[in-house]
């Protein structure tokens, strides 16, 4: 059965207010921009976003953030988005900052059916011990802080070390971008645009993929498939993606 949907608007039509979304991309590289724009054109709000960051002020998830559609974000860093930083520090949004590798593994584990895992990342810091600000109060005090997590010691190749228990992440929907997709949902990502897209796709109960090129099932060499179609529920062809530049740096003239 073909998984192709006729438009980005139709692909995201059943995303409701309060939904959780795992969103692929890194900065503005490999982001599902057309799906985000289609979602922004609806009335949905109160979203929980799981993504490496939140785009820029005017590109990607920054559009939803600007319009106050996001309630909570699980991310690795604030990045170049000044509005993201402002909302976080003003107590307008809840932010769970997570080490980047840990976030990637939380998404991958969620998609693989692994409920939790131990990692050394964050041991001895507020990541493990708790107290990391999730939401600030208007007066700058911490309104909601992260809870402490279980820490255990394990022996191994490098001797005994301490590890913190991290829970996997699943989301109601996943939004991803791929260079090529087929009608069965098999996806091929372009170079560094592979970033968080496969893990985000796996973590979504319903995965929606925008693709630059759509081909018939069987046309992609199985050895070149980066994400099997079993993880993808809907595919929409959006054409060649606009290449955004997150931060432009130019040399000074001599």
From 22, 48, 17, select the one nearest 177 (Cα to Cα).
Answer: 22
Q: What is the pLDDT of residue 58?
A: 83
Sign, CA torsion 89/90/91/92 = negative
Residue with tokens 């289609």: 38
Domain 8-115+168-237 class? Answer: alpha beta
pTM score, whole prediction: 0.92
**pLDDT per residue of the chain (254 residues) written in tens, 0 to 9:** 789 999 999 999 999 999 999 999 998 889 999 999 999 999 999 999 999 999 888 889 999 999 999 999 999 988 778 899 999 999 999 999 999 999 999 999 999 999 999 999 999 999 999 999 999 999 999 999 999 999 999 987 778 999 999 999 999 999 999 999 999 999 999 999 999 999 999 999 999 999 999 999 999 999 999 999 999 999 999 988 677 766 677 888 77
The pLDDT value recorded for residue 157 is 79
Structure confidence at residue 246 (pLDDT) = 67
What is the rounded distance in angstroms from the CA atom of residue 68 to the CA atom of residue 30? 23
Task: Answer whether 189's CB lies under 8 Å from 227's CB.
Answer: yes
């Amino acid at each position: 059965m073909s998984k192709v949907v006729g438009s980005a608007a139709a692909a995201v039509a059943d995303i409701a207010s309060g939904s959780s979304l795992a969103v692929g991309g890194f900065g503005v590289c490999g982001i599902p921009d057309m799906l985000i724009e289609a979602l922004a054109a609806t009335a949905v709000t109160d979203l929980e976003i799981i993504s490496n960051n939140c785009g820029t002020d005017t590109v990607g998830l920054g559009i939803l953030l600007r319009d106050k559609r996001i309630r909570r974000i699980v991310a690795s860093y604030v990045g170049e988005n000044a509005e993201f930083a402002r909302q976080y520090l003003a107590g307008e949004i809840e932010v769970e900052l997570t080490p980047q590798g840990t976030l990637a593994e939380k998404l991958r584990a969620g998609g693989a059916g692994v409920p939790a895992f131990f990692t050394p990342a964050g041991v001895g810091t507020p990541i493990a011990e708790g107290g990391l600000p999730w939401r600030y109060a208007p007066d700058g005090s911490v309104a909601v802080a992260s809870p402490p997590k279980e820490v255990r010691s394990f022996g191994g190749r490098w001797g005994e070390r301490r590890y913190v228990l991290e829970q996997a992440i699943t989301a109601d929907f996943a939004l991803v971008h791929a260079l090529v997709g087929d009608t069965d949902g098999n996806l091929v990502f372009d170079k560094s645009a592979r970033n968080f897209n496969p893990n985000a796709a796996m973590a979504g109960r319903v995965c929606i993929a925008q693709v630059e090129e759509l081909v018939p099932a069987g046309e992609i060499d199985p050895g070149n498939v980066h994400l099997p179609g079993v993880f993808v529920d809907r595919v929409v062809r959006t054409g060649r993606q606009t290449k955004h530049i997150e931060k432009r740096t130019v040399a000074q003239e001599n």
